[in-house]
Amino acid sequence: MFKKFLTLSTLALLTACGDGQPFIFADTTPTTPTDPNEPDVPDPNVIPAALSGDISAVAYNASTGLLLIDLAALDQTNGDVPLVEYDRNPALDVPGYIAYSYQDDPLDRMFVAIVAESFDGAVEAVVAMDGGQFTKYFGGTYYGRNADYTSPGGLVSYAGSYAGITNLDADGAQLLTPSGSPSPSVLPGQPAQVTGNVFLNADFGDGAVNGVITDRTWVNLNAVDLGELGASLPDVFLIPAEITPGGTFNGVAEDAGQLNIGTYGGIFGGDGATAVAGSVFLENFLDGIDNENEFGIFVLMQCGQPGDAPICVDAN
C-alpha cells in the first residue's frame, strides 16, 4: 500500500541541506513572556525553514487549551482569518502531548496537531500536518520559549517523550465520513502518528548539544502498512550541534549507519535552561519504501528539575 503524499517546499529545502552544507548559527537574545493568544511567527534565524515547513504562525494557550495555527492553505472556508482554531481531539493523544485536529468537511483535508508545554511552562512546541490530498500534504513545526533564558554552565541532560506525524496513512478512524460514495481520489487521508523517547546531553561550557530519539513506534498506522513495516521504527541520532549564546541550536539527524536522514533544532528556556523544546524533519528513514517524511517535536525537562523523566535517575 504505502500511500504517501509529498510536499514540494519541504523536499526542495531538504535537497539543498543534504549536500553537506553547514547550517548558519544566528545569535538570538533571550525573550520575555508574551500573550499566549498572540500568534508567534517562526523566526528563520531560530527555526530553520526545513523545520517550520508550511507553518506561518502559532498561538497556544496551555491554561485554556486554545490552539490556533496558520498552516499554509486549504484548511478553512474563511480566508480572511489566517489562523485556524483546532479542535481538541483526545483520541489522538500520545504520551506527554495533547492532540488537536481540524477538518472543514469530509471532502477537505484533515489536519492533526500535537502540542506540549514544559512542566515549568518555560518552552513549548507544536507539530501539525494534514493527511494528504491530491498527491500533496502540508506540514511543519514550531518551538519557542515563554520565559527568559540563562545558561546553567557545564554539562546537563534532558529527557522525555517524542511525538511525530508522518506522510503515511493512518487507519482513518478520525476522518469525517462523506454521505455519498465519491471517488477515492477525491477523499483526504489521515496522517499516521509516531511516539518515542528523547535523550539529550548539552554542554553549555563548550556550547554543544547532541542526543537520540529511541523507542519509536507507530500509533495508528493502517493495518496493511503495519503488517509490512512492523510496529517499531529505527532510532534517530541527533549529531552534535552548536548551542548559540541565545540558547538555540540546529543540527543534522542521522540513522544508525551515519546516513543523513534530516535535520533537528531547538531552543532552551528558563533560568538555568530548565527545559528545552525542539523538532525534527526526517526523510527516507525506512527500508523498502521511498519518500517517507516525518515531522516531530520534543519538549523535555532538565534532569534534576521537577517533572523530569525516569531515566534521569542515572544522570548527574
| pTM of the entire predicted model | 0.88
Give 76-85's long-range contacts (Cβ < 8 A, gap of 24+): 76/102, 76/104, 77/104, 82/56, 82/57, 83/39, 83/57, 83/59, 84/111
Residue 19 lies in a domain: yes
Which parts of the chain register pLDDT below 50? Answer: 8-33
Residue 182 lies in a domain: no
pLDDT digits (tens, 9 = 90+) for 246-290: 999 999 999 999 999 999 999 999 999 999 999 999 999 998 888
pLDDT of residue 15: 30
Residue 1 lies in a domain: no
Q: Which three cell numbers, joined as nine digits, stand for 39?
A: 500568534
Structural domain count of the chain: 1
pLDDT digits (tens, 9 = 90+) for 191-204: 999 999 999 999 99
Q: What is the CATH number of the domain that holds 160?
A: 2.40.160.90
Residue 61 lies in a domain: yes
pLDDT of residue 43: 80
Residue 193 lies in a domain: yes
Residue 55 lies in a domain: yes
310 — phi, psi (to 5°)? Answer: -55, -35
pLDDT of residue 251: 97
Residue 2 lies in a domain: no
Residue 65 DSSP label: T
